[in-house]
């Protein structure tokens, strides 16, 4: 790989630097549109690996939920990619996304295969003015539109 390509990859991965650290999380999960919200608190520990090429996220909540994700820039696809596994399923969620520097928003289109059925949803993480992160998990509705299943506010631990 030439030097210019290496610089482009390094620049693409620099956006993950703002996510490194330990974050306290307050989440609200709604299992369905008519379901009552379920609050939870958790901790995310994010670090970069492989020379800064990937962001690794380890998450655990007081509800017993645990998850692990790896995210990075895929130069062949020209997009950010990621995988996520957690304690709710044996399936691996695969994501492809884009970064919008103007709004400081990472948007992933995610798919997870559950047996013979594929479930697609969007994940949006926006860096707020105060440095906190707002994560939203949006699931498509059969009649159209989207439903916000998960909302998490991450605040960096001092």
DSSP readout, the chain?
--HHHHHHHHHHHHGGGGG-EEEEEEEEE-SSTTSPPEEEEEEEEEEEETTTTEEEEEEEETTS-EEEEEEEEETTTTEEEEEEEETT-SSPEEEEEEEETTTTEEEEEEEEEETTEEEEEEEEEEE-TTS-EEEEEEEE-TTSSEEEEEEEEEEE--
pLDDT of residue 158: 86
Instruction: Give how far the C-alpha of residue 47 lies from the chain's centroid of Cα atoms, to the nearest Å.
Output: 14
Residue 102 near residue 130 (C-beta atoms within 8 A):
no
pLDDT of residue 1: 66
pLDDT of residue 12: 79
3-156 homologous superfamily: Calycin beta-barrel core domain (2.40.128.20)
- Among 91, 40, 90, which residue's Cα sits nearest to residue 62? 40
pLDDT of residue 8: 75
Contacts by 80-84, CB closer than 8 A, 24 or more apart? 80/12, 80/106, 80/108, 82/108, 84/110
Q: Which residues of the chain have pLDDT under 50?
A: none
pLDDT digits (tens, 9 = 90+) for 77-121: 999 999 999 999 899 999 999 999 999 999 999 999 988 999 999
pLDDT of residue 9: 77
pLDDT of residue 125: 97
pLDDT of residue 105: 97
């Amino acid at each position: 790989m030439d030097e210019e390509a290496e610089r482009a990859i390094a620049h693409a991965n620099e956006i993950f630097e703002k996510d490194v650290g330990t974050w306290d999380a307050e989440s609200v999960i709604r299992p369905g549109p008519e379901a009552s919200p379920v609050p939870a608190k958790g901790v995310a520990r994010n670090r970069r690996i492989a020379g800064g090429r990937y962001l690794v996220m380890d998450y655990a909540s007081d509800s017993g939920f645990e998850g692990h994700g790896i995210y990075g820039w895929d130069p062949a696809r020209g997009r950010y990619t990621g995988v996520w596994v957690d304690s709710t399923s044996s399936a691996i969620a695969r994501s492809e996304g884009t970064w919008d520097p103007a709004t400081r928003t990472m948007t992933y289109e995610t798919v997870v295969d559950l047996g013979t059925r594929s479930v697609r949803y969007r994940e949006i993480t926006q860096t707020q003015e105060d440095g906190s992160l707002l994560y939203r998990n949006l699931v498509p509705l059969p009649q159209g539109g989207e439903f916000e299943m998960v909302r998490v506010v991450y605040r960096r631990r001092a």
